[in-house]
Amino acid sequence: MESANVAKKLILESVPTARIDAMKLDLSSLNSVRTFADKFIATSLPLNILINNAGVMFCPYQLSADGIEMQFATNHLGHFYLTNLLLEKMKNTANETGIEGRIVNLSSIAHLHTYGEGILFDGINDQTRYNDKKAYGQSKLANILHSNELSRRLQEEGAHVTVNSVHPGLIMTNLMRHSFHFMKVVQLFTYICWKNVAQGAATTCFVALHPSLKGVTGKYFLDCNEMQPSNLAGDQRIAKKLWEFSEKLIKSAQS
């Protein structure tokens, strides 16, 4: 919350007329997600845009408060649950205002580097099979699969809400805290590919706001251009299985 309030202050210094509320949300905790969603809905504010941007990266094996592998719990499951809890509010806002709702899931090019089968449905918490980098790739693959399956469902019901995923690019932020020295070496040899924070935010803002993307849904973007993700990311069977798997995990964690 301290960081959020610092960001709020900086924005207000640049745009004094902005109206900003900072609310606490821990995406690794399903209880925190539920509490946040309830509080937000209680404000009766409209919801036009949802950017699912939280993440942990390459962390040592650990379980969330709900007993789920931390990278999968934070990067995918928390966002999956949050989106589902806020979805009716988004659909209602779109219907009431006539303005298209947009959901943006931040994935990563790291979705290409995951476990062989994509998602370890039979061993999501298996410490013996855990690889910090593949587990991160798995969670980023899950972000795209979630986007695609939600997009399909919303199109099927005719909802005025789009869902897309993006790779923001390589950016040296606190996300790298578990692999700082490793990533500094990588950066040394790939410096031309790295972006500053503003450049890294560009694709997310483009997908969330640009008029040219009206009605565009179920796509993956890199550098403000639509790109083709991996074959696993485009597999509808895996996407449906992940949706059902995620629902069961949430139900099991809350029982």
Would you give per-residue pLDDT tens digits along the chain (255 residues)? Answer: 999 999 999 999 999 999 999 999 999 999 999 999 999 999 999 999 999 998 999 999 999 999 999 999 999 999 999 999 999 999 999 999 999 999 999 999 999 999 999 999 999 999 999 999 999 999 999 999 999 999 999 999 999 999 999 998 655 555 545 455 555 555 554 555 555 777 878 999 999 999 999 999 999 999 999 999 999 999 999 999 999 999 999 999 988
Catalytic-role residue among 130, 136, 191, 220: 130
Domains and CATH numbers, the chain: 48-254 (3.40.50.720)
What is the rounded CA–CA span in Å between residue 252 and residue 144?
24
Give the CA radius of gyration of the chain.
Answer: 18
Burial of 81 by CB count in 10 Å (0-12 exposed, 13-18 middle, 19+ buried)? buried
Amino acid occupying residue 131: N
The SS3 call for residue 59 is coil
What is the rounded CA–CA span in Å between residue 133 and residue 118?
13
Q: Where are the alpha helices (DSSP H) in 158-221?
A: 180-189, 197-209
User: Is 106 in contact with 52 (CB distance < 8 Å)?
Assistant: yes
130 is catalytic: yes
* The two structure tokens encoding residue 56: 């942990």
Burial of 3 by CB count in 10 Å (0-12 exposed, 13-18 middle, 19+ buried)? exposed
Amino acid occupying residue 83: T
Question: Cα angle at 229 between 165 and 181, to 5 degrees?
Answer: 80
What is the rounded CA–CA span in Å between residue 101 and residue 81?
18
Picking from 48, 34, 41, 39, the residue whose alpha carbon sits closest to that of residue 82 is 34
Compute how many other C-beta atoms are within 10 angstroms of the C-beta atom of residue 89: 18
Picking from 109, 54, 90, the residue whose alpha carbon sits closest to that of residue 220 is 109
Antiparallel, parallel or unpaired: β 225-227 and 220-222: antiparallel
